[in-house]
Structure formats: C-alpha cells, structure tokens
Chains A and B, each alone.
Chain A
C-alpha cells in the first residue's frame, strides 16, 4: 500500500476515526498514567494531534463541496435495521476544526498549568472523552446519536468543571452545570421521541425529508431551540455559564467554549437542516427569534461584564455577549434566506455569523488562558487585588492585548472582519440591530480596557514583586492561539473563501445534506 492509498483509506474512515481515536485514547490514558506522568502527557497530546490531523484531512476534502457519510451497521439503507450514520458537510468540518484546535491547545497548556494537581489521569481521560463527545455531536447525522454525544460531553464537562474538588465553588458550579445539562438533554430526548413517533426515523436527513411541520413538529422545534440555546448560554438561560467558566480550570474553560459552540451548532443544524424546508413557510420567522435572542444576549452579556470584578467571570460574560453576535448573524441569514432580493445580504450575514463562531472560540479562549496564566502566577483572580503585572509578565501582557483587540472587533484582528460582515448585513435588515451590535462592541472594548488597566497597568505592587512569567508550555499554548488570531485577522478573505463560505453554503443548501442520504429528495435551496 502506497502513501496515496493510505491517505485515501484514512479519508474514507476519518469520520469514524475522528471520534474513535480520542475515545480509545481516553480509556488507555489511565493505564499509561501508571507508567509516567510525562509519557501520559505526551500520549494525550499525540492522540489529539492525530485527531486534529484526521479532522484537517477530512475538512480539506469536505471544503471542496463533498459530503462524507459513514455508516455503522447495515450499509443498505433500505433495510429496517439499527444503524448509525455520520454525515459530514462543510459546517460539521468547520465546527470539528474549532473543537480539535481548542482541545489540543488546552492539553499543551495543561502540561504546566495542572502540574501541581493530583488525579491528572482522570483529568486527561475526561478531556479526551469531552473532545470525543464534541466531535461526535458535530459529525453525526443521527439525532439520537447527537443526544448520546451531548450527554458524553455534558457529563465529562461537569466532572471537569468540578475538578478542583477542594474548592466548594467549583463543586457547586459542576453541580449546577450537570443539573442544567440534564434538564436540557431531557427535553432534547423528548423532541427526538416526537420525531420518532411521527416519522419512524432518527436520522436527521430522513426526518428533514419527511417533516410536515405538524403541531408536534412545532413543539419539538420549541423544545430543541430552548434546550440547545440553554446549553449554548443564550440569555436569559446563560446563568450557568459564568459559574462554570469562572470556576473551572482555565484549560477546561477553553474546551468548554468549544462544547458551548457544539450546542449552538445543534441549534443551526435543527433550524437549517431538519426544519430547512418548513421553517420559512411559517408566518412567524424563527430567524427573528434568533435575532431577538442574539440582541438580548449581546446587551445583557456586555452589561454584566462591565460590573464584574472577578477576571474569569468577566470574560465569561464577554463570551455570552459574543454568542449574541453569532446568533444575530445567523438569525439574520435565516430571516432573509428565501427573499430573492436579499440573497447576498443573507449569505454575508451567514458568513459573518459562522466566521464569528471561530473568532469567538479563539478570542475568548485566549483571554481565558491569560486569566489562567495570571492565576498560575499570582494565585489571584480578583481584579481589585491585581495590578502592575505588565512589568513581570511581558509575554502574557502582549497575548492579553491581542485577545482584547480581537474580542472587541478592533482592526486588524480577526473579530473585526466577522463583525464588519454582521454589522453590514444586519444594517440591511434593520439599522437599529446594527447600531446595537456596534454599541455592544464599544462596551466590550471598555470592559477589557478596564481589565487591562486593573491587572497589567499601574505601579508595581510589592506583593507581586516576585511574580514571574508563566512556563513555556503555557506560553506556547497562548502563542498558538494568538498567531491564529493574527493570521485570520490579516487574511480574512482567504479564510472566508476557503473555510467559512463552504460552511455557510452547507447550511443554506440543506437539500444537498438530505440528498446524500435520500438521493430522491427533490427539495432544498
């Protein structure tokens, strides 16, 4: 077998391998941990490195317009046997790239950040399980399988949020997370039962092709949007998010950002693919619901951020505001999807919203890593007690400035390009939406300028006299994300044309997703 054959074989089985590799790695990690801590750390990094390579291999093919399906069970779709089908289009691949980058960076960061902790075999096992869960949610084409992976992600996330069991607040945050996740998952399961009862199917494409938009379908839509939006931290169901993000170790928070976005992906998959054919025939647009939720999320997130004095909690509210931008962009796309006069506006909004998913993960992720670095160096998260750290932590300060500019949408960082698309397209829909979005960005800048002044500027405080820069693995992790932010900021056209646009097209052209499983399906844009 030559290299080309091997790559073709890997590509063919990559949808399964992307989930199987971290899952298998998770079960092997406790065994390897018995050998040596360093060997275990290297093993986990290599496992996620291999997973990332597979994701990039699959994405390189999917972004050219191909859709990959992978069937576990009977290959003959006509046979009424139990099977699970993975279906990977450009949107799935786009989300998988985000998840795998965040997980890989998190384990590199953890090398030094978590070094002093005990129980790291469990920590790394849970990280790999959580990664497998997120990737499964993004790659599966089966709704019940989506629920199973959501549960895997939720349980491992809750355990990781409560990882610092010696801190009561962390355990409390973990408890809140699992309660909220379970309630959300329960309603998702209920909506799946409604589909199964009506259409005798669990496959997303099958349901999408058969959906009649009956009364039960409407109930299922309400349940799915509400439950997934709660898991995504949409206001006013966001309150678990600052608790969990604020109390989890920073490396875990980074992956939690990916888990939150996987739920947001679920909202978009439901609205565009499953209800794609029916949703725009309704008198009240679901797109407008997303737009309104987006605006509320943006405003409340930024308003709460401005009064926070805890570093991580403040960033968490900033992350809530960023989710609002994503909802606003994609909601606008959904509103104007079927209006022939506004096709370009709709696509621009979709591109802005989808590009912002990636940017949000990178910007918020970098800021959380900086917060973790400061905690590592000073053992302090209260902004009222920090100050003058730019003198001792020069690299961390630079990374914070990059994160600050990026999350506020300042040129030439990545956040500017995606927010520009969102501002322009929402202006076409309604100028007030655009004005609110710009105002929120200005407030976000004010919020993070406050953090910059409080933590990094001011006189050198005697209590931080001996504070040193964080270890190299943490700097490498922060530097990796900062580099990606700069590259995405300097070359937005390249990223949008090659990665974002295929993902936006995959969501809009839901008919292609359905036809991959049901070739006879005639609908779709």
Chain B
C-alpha cells in the first residue's frame, strides 16, 4: 500500500498536477543559496554591544509596550475604508440567542421558498 513510488507520486488534480516533494526541494535549494549569500555579509557583528540597540534616528526608544504594533492597528487602512461593511457585519452579530434562532427561521423560510415554491413555479413554466 505504502511503497516509495506511491509516496513520490505526482498528485493529478484532473486539470493540473502538484508535486510537493519537488516544491520542498526547490525551497531547500533557495534556502541554501540564501545561506551562501548571507555568508558574504559583514562579519563584524558583535552580540550584546551597542550594535544591537534600536536606533530611531537619534530619538529615545519608547517603552516596549508602545513599540509593538497592536492587532487592532494592523490593516487599519483596510478596515477603515470598508468600515460600512464591517459595521453592518458587527451589527448582525448581536450576541442575542433569540436573533440566532431568528436567522435559522429566515434561512428555513428562504429554503422553503426556493425548494418548494420555486420548484413549482419552474415546473409550471
């Protein structure tokens, strides 16, 4: 069942193919090249010296808590520009269990209309 050939087999998707092993080998080769290139870099780095201190154009470093970009600030521009979408989505999530049940009734009603009323209409046409 699990022969070496079966492990190395290319995955045929129907319209295309995918071989993760080749992909992994390619990544490893790229990584190796990166390591070699890194080897040509400056070797004068010294641990635990002034070299490791943050340099903010001569300004003093803020508290660590202030330096970290918080989750809410990431993608701020994206969420701000689509605020109307996100606000309406938040509004939909009321946290009220009665509303959860109401959505179930709405979906059931839509399915009823589509599958039963809709079918009869299509059948009549």
**B115–A221 contact, CB under 8 A?**
yes
**B72–A236 contact, CB under 8 A?**
no
Residue of A237, A460, A462 contacting most chain B CB atoms (<10 Å): A237
Question: In this assembly, does B1 line the interface, its C-beta being within 8 Å of a C-beta of chain A?
Answer: yes
Q: Could you tell me the distance in whole angstroms from the C-beta of B113 to the nearest C-beta in chain A?
A: 10
**B123–A348 contact, CB under 8 A?**
no
**A237–B100 contact, CB under 8 A?**
yes
Q: Which residues of A contact B95 (CB under 8 A)?
A: 239, 243
**A424–B116 contact, CB under 8 A?**
no
* Cα distance, A225 to B112, chains bound together (Å): 11
Question: In this assembly, does A180 line the interface, its C-beta being within 8 Å of a C-beta of chain B?
Answer: yes
Q: Count of chain A residues with Cβ under 8 Å from any Cβ of B? A: 72
Question: Contacting chain B: which of A8-16, A195-203, A485-493?
Answer: A485-493
Question: In this assembly, does B65 line the interface, its C-beta being within 8 Å of a C-beta of chain A?
Answer: yes
* Cα distance, A283 to B11, chains bound together (Å): 36
CB contact list, A132-186 vs B, under 8 A: 175-176, 179-180, 183-184
Q: Which residues of A contact B106 (CB under 8 A)?
A: 236
**B97–A180 contact, CB under 8 A?**
yes
Residue of A221, A226, A417, A463 contacting most chain B CB atoms (<10 Å): A226
* Cα distance, A11 to B21, chains bound together (Å): 36
Assuming A454-B74, A461-B68, is B11 touching A492 (CB within 8 A)?
A: yes
**B16–A424 contact, CB under 8 A?**
yes
**B71–A489 contact, CB under 8 A?**
no
Question: In this assembly, does A451 line the interface, its C-beta being within 8 Å of a C-beta of chain B?
Answer: yes
CB contact list, B35-65 vs A, under 8 A: 64-65
* Cα distance, A242 to B69, chains bound together (Å): 25
Q: Count of chain B residues with Cβ under 8 Å from any Cβ of A? A: 54
* Cα distance, A498 to B6, chains bound together (Å): 11
CB contact list, A29-78 vs B, under 8 A: none
Assuming A303-B86, A492-B20, is B97 touching A226 (CB within 8 A)?
A: no
* Cα distance, A242 to B89, chains bound together (Å): 14
Q: Could you tell me the distance in whole angstroms from the C-beta of B82 to the nearest C-beta in chain A?
A: 8
The one of B15, B67, B99, B123 that contacts A458, using a Cβ cutoff of 8 Å:
B67
**B69–A458 contact, CB under 8 A?**
yes
**A383–B71 contact, CB under 8 A?**
yes
CB contact list, B78-125 vs A, under 8 A: 78-79, 85-86, 89-90, 92-93, 95, 97, 99-101, 103-104, 106-108, 111-112, 114-116, 118-119, 122-123
**A284–B119 contact, CB under 8 A?**
yes
CB contact list, A411-461 vs B, under 8 A: 411-412, 416-417, 420-421, 424-425, 428, 446, 450-451, 453-454, 458-461
**B122–A289 contact, CB under 8 A?**
no
**A289–B111 contact, CB under 8 A?**
yes
Question: In this assembly, does B7 line the interface, its C-beta being within 8 Å of a C-beta of chain A?
Answer: yes
Assuming A461-B68, A492-B20, is B116 touching A219 (CB within 8 A)?
A: yes
Question: In this assembly, does A209 line the interface, its C-beta being within 8 Å of a C-beta of chain B?
Answer: no
Question: In this assembly, does A387 line the interface, its C-beta being within 8 Å of a C-beta of chain B?
Answer: yes
Q: Which residues of A contact B92 (CB under 8 A)?
A: 236
Q: Which residues of B contact A416 (CB under 8 A)?
A: 18, 20
CB contact list, B7-36 vs A, under 8 A: 7, 9-16, 18, 20-21, 23-24
Q: Could you tell me the distance in whole angstroms from the C-beta of A466 to the nearest C-beta in chain B?
A: 15
* Cα distance, A383 to B72, chains bound together (Å): 8
Residue of A222, A388, A460 contacting most chain B CB atoms (<10 Å): A222
* Cα distance, A492 to B92, chains bound together (Å): 39
**A454–B70 contact, CB under 8 A?**
yes
**B71–A450 contact, CB under 8 A?**
yes
Question: In this assembly, does A480 line the interface, its C-beta being within 8 Å of a C-beta of chain B?
Answer: no
Q: Which residues of B contact A518 (CB under 8 A)?
A: none
Question: In this assembly, does A496 line the interface, its C-beta being within 8 Å of a C-beta of chain B?
Answer: yes
**B116–A218 contact, CB under 8 A?**
yes
The one of A284, A450, A454 that contacts B114, using a Cβ cutoff of 8 Å:
A284
- Give B contacts to A, CB under 8 Å: 1-2, 6-7, 9-16, 18, 20-21, 23-24, 64-65, 67-72, 74-75, 78-79, 85-86, 89-90, 92-93, 95, 97, 99-101, 103-104, 106-108, 111-112, 114-116, 118-119, 122-123
* Given A236-B103, A289-B114, A289-B115, 5 further pairs, Cβ under 8 A: A225-B111, A242-B93, A282-B115, A450-B71, A451-B71
A-B contact pairs, 19 of them (CB 8 A): A176-B97, A176-B100, A183-B101, A229-B107, A236-B92, A236-B107, A237-B104, A239-B93, A239-B100, A243-B95, A284-B115, A303-B89, A386-B71, A420-B13, A450-B75, A454-B69, A454-B74, A461-B68, A494-B9
- Which 10 pairs across A and B sit closest by C-beta, in order of nearness? A383-B71, A412-B20, A454-B71, A283-B122, A458-B68, A493-B11, A226-B108, A387-B68, A348-B14, A459-B64
- Give A contacts to B, CB under 8 Å: 175-176, 179-180, 183-184, 187, 215, 218-219, 221-223, 225-227, 229-230, 236-237, 239-240, 242-243, 282-284, 286, 289, 300, 303-304, 306-307, 309, 344-345, 348, 383-384, 386-388, 411-412, 416-417, 420-421, 424-425, 428, 446, 450-451, 453-454, 458-463, 489-494, 496-498
